[in-house]
Each structure stands twice: as structure tokens, then as C-alpha cells.
Amino acid sequence: MNYKVTHCIKYMYSAPVSICHNLLRVHPRQTHTQIVENHQLTIHPTPDEMQQYQDCFGNRLCYSEISKPHETMSISAESQLQVAQVTTIEPHLTEPWDQLTSRLASELSPVVLNACQFISASRIIKPNARLAEYARPSFTAGKPILEAAVEFASRLFDDFSYDASASTVSQDLGPSELLPHRRVRRVQPDSLGLAVNVVDDVLTHRLGKAADLAHLYIGCLRSLGLAARCVSGYLRTVTPPGTTRPAGLDSTHMWASVFCGADGWVDIDPTINAITSFDHIAVAWGRDFDEVCAMNGVFIGNAQATSSVTVDISSEG
């Protein structure tokens, strides 16, 4: 499928701000199933400084600095890309999950060592016995890893309610799921939630939105000694045949990717209970929300910020 993605972000400030620094992750990843043909990023006011680079996970980032007073900031990212259906892997033919955890704990091959960085605790996801206990019924002895991972996603989908107003992960980080952008102030570590396992809160309340469900899913797998990473990107909304498709209907989204040994990484979306398809467009992956969110930023000024986000994915054949 050929897609054109238009991702628009707008910030409005209650009073002029004098300077802002932002880090953007809005450039889709280049993978074996996703080929980016063109990408254009426009920021207004025009940044005084702008640099693009790759992080340690291979994500494309853009740093920008605006050093003049402004009351609004708009960002438009347009991408044209080809997305192919992922090659089908038979879940029952994948490696037993408990055999895989043993390899992850002892093997020194480059592929396994790379996967190991997605097992340990991160700022938001802290593996623990409670998360392992919740996941364990799906991970019986000798069960193939992908079969267990798919079954667990289905169980999580049945046990939890999607609630866009009840996000624990994003409330811990900022006012909008993919847009933490804050006024500069002195902060203590505890106020950033560094000592709190927000994933445990999701398990307690049994509701949340995509970021919450993805982080819970990842935390449970890591608690069993498996490697799982967080993926941010876009989800294309499919409308019924014959209906007019309004602009801006699509959304930013977040899901999980599970390391399946010799079968590589398989992306699973617990929010919709499915292995991802060509309706998912990956932008960034990392250990948790901190490393994949669309925008991190700070501004200087005695103002409050509000934001709006629209995503439109049009099919071009």
C-alpha cells in the first residue's frame, strides 16, 4: 500500500513565550516492510536552530530551537511511504518461550544482546512479580513464544477497557499522550514519577488507552524474562465501503513488539487484539514512552500551553 501521512501539531500559549526547545519523532522508520520515499517537516515560527540525527535505536529525530517570542507553534510532518503486509509467521512453530528466556539470559550473539536491552526496567516499566503473575496463565511450560504472546494479548483485550480519558502513562509524562511539552521549572525526581510503577496502576484500574495497554503488555512480558519494546506510530482508520472518509480521521498510536528468537520481532497491538498489519505505520521504537513519544519539549514563559493534534493517512493505490 502507498500512503501519504500528514501529522499536524499545534501549540497555543496563554501568553507569549520567549524560547522553546523541542525534540520531534515524526519521521517514519525505514524497515523491510516500510519504505519511506519522501518526508517533509515544516515548523512555524521558523526555528533558529534545527538538527536531525538518529538515536541509538535507529529512530530519526529532529531537534529545534525557537528563540523569539511567539504565542503559537505549528508543526507539519508529511511523509510518503510504501507499507507491505508482514510475512506470516505460524505462532505454533516459534521457539518455546521458556527456552527463549534461557537464551536471553546466557547467549552472547549480537541479535540476542541487542534484544536484551528490552528486558530490563525502564523509567516507566518496572518488571515485578505481580505483572509476571498476571501474564503467567498464557505462558505455560513449553508453549511457543508467539502463540503465548498472541493469547496474552487476547486475554488483556478481554480483561481491560479502553478509556481515552484514563491514561496513567501519559498523565505521568505530560498533558497529551504523545506530546509532553512543559514550562521550564525546577523539578524533584519524585515529581516525575521515577519511584512509581505506573504500569501497576494500569493493572489495578484495568482501563486506559493505547499507551497504557501497550506498556502493561510490555511490562508483563519483561517480568517473565522476555524482550519486548514499545512502538509509536500511526493507525489508519478503515471506513465502510461507499462512505466518505473525512480528513483527520486517523490517529497517533502505540503498540508492542515481541522478540521471537529466530523469527525476529513481531509487532502486536493489544489495544485492538491483533498482530499489526499495513494499517500500522511505525515511527519510533524504544524501551518505553520516554523514547518514542512524538514530541518532548520545554518552553520559557509565564504561560500555559494547550495542544491539538490531527493525523490523516490517505491511500495512494
Shared domain for 55 and 134, answered yes or no, is no
Residue with cell 547467549: 107
Residues 72 and 135 placed together within one structural domain of the fold: no
Q: Where are the alpha helices (DSSP H) in the chain?
A: 97-106, 110-116, 129-135, 145-159, 168-173, 198-205, 210-223
CATH number of the CATH domain containing 54: 2.60.40.2250
Helices and strands in the chain, H and E counts = 7, 16
3-state SS class at 204:
helix
Q: pLDDT at position 197, please?
A: 65
Residue 163 has what pLDDT? 77
C-alpha cell at 3: 500512503
For residues 21 and 112, state if they share a domain.
no
In the sheet that holds 34-44, the strands lie side by side as 34-44, 70-83, 2-17, 305-315
Q: What is the pLDDT of residue 245?
A: 60
- Give the separation between CA 111 and CA 94, rounded to whole angstroms: 16
Q: Quick one: which of 7, 2, 42, 12 has its CA closest to 26?
A: 7
- 250 and 137 belong to one structural domain: yes
- Residue located via cell numbers 500559549: 13
Question: Can you give the C-alpha Rg of the chain in angstroms?
Answer: 20
Q: Are residues 247 and 310 in the same domain?
A: no
Number of other CB atoms surrounding residue 191 within 10 Å: 9
SS3 state at 67: coil
Q: Which domain holds residue 224?
A: 91-293
User: Looking at the 3D structure of the chain, how many domains does it have?
Assistant: 2
Same domain assignment for residues 56 and 150: no
Clarify whether residues 188 and 43 are in a common domain: no
Whether residues 50 and 140 share a domain: the answer is: no
Q: Give the pLDDT score at 172.
A: 41
Predicted local confidence at residue 218, as pLDDT: 98
> The domain that contains 142 carries what CATH number?
3.10.620.30
Residues 314 and 78: beta-carbon distance below 8 Å: no
For 130-151, how does the pLDDT look when each residue is reduced to its tens digit (9 = 90+)?
Answer: 999 999 999 999 999 999 999 9
Kindly state whether residues 243 and 154 are assigned to the same domain.
yes
In terms of domains, do 51 and 133 share one? no
Same domain, yes or no: 43 and 139: no
Full-model pTM: 0.88
Q: What is the pLDDT along the chain (317 residues), one digit of tens a residue?
A: 899 999 999 999 999 999 999 999 999 999 999 999 999 999 999 999 999 999 999 999 999 999 999 999 999 999 999 998 877 899 999 999 999 999 999 999 999 999 999 999 998 999 999 999 999 999 999 999 999 999 999 999 999 888 776 656 654 433 334 445 555 543 333 333 333 467 888 888 888 888 999 999 999 999 999 999 999 999 998 766 666 666 656 889 999 999 999 999 999 999 999 999 889 999 999 999 999 999 988 899 889 989 899 999 998 75
pLDDT score recorded for residue 185:
40
Contact in structure between 310 and 237 (CB atoms under 8 Å): no
Residues 67 and 103 in one domain: no
Give the sign of the dihedral formed by CA 242, CA 244, CA 247, CA 251: negative
What confidence tens digit (pLDDT) does each residue in 213-239 have? 999 999 999 999 999 999 999 999 876
Length of the chain: 317
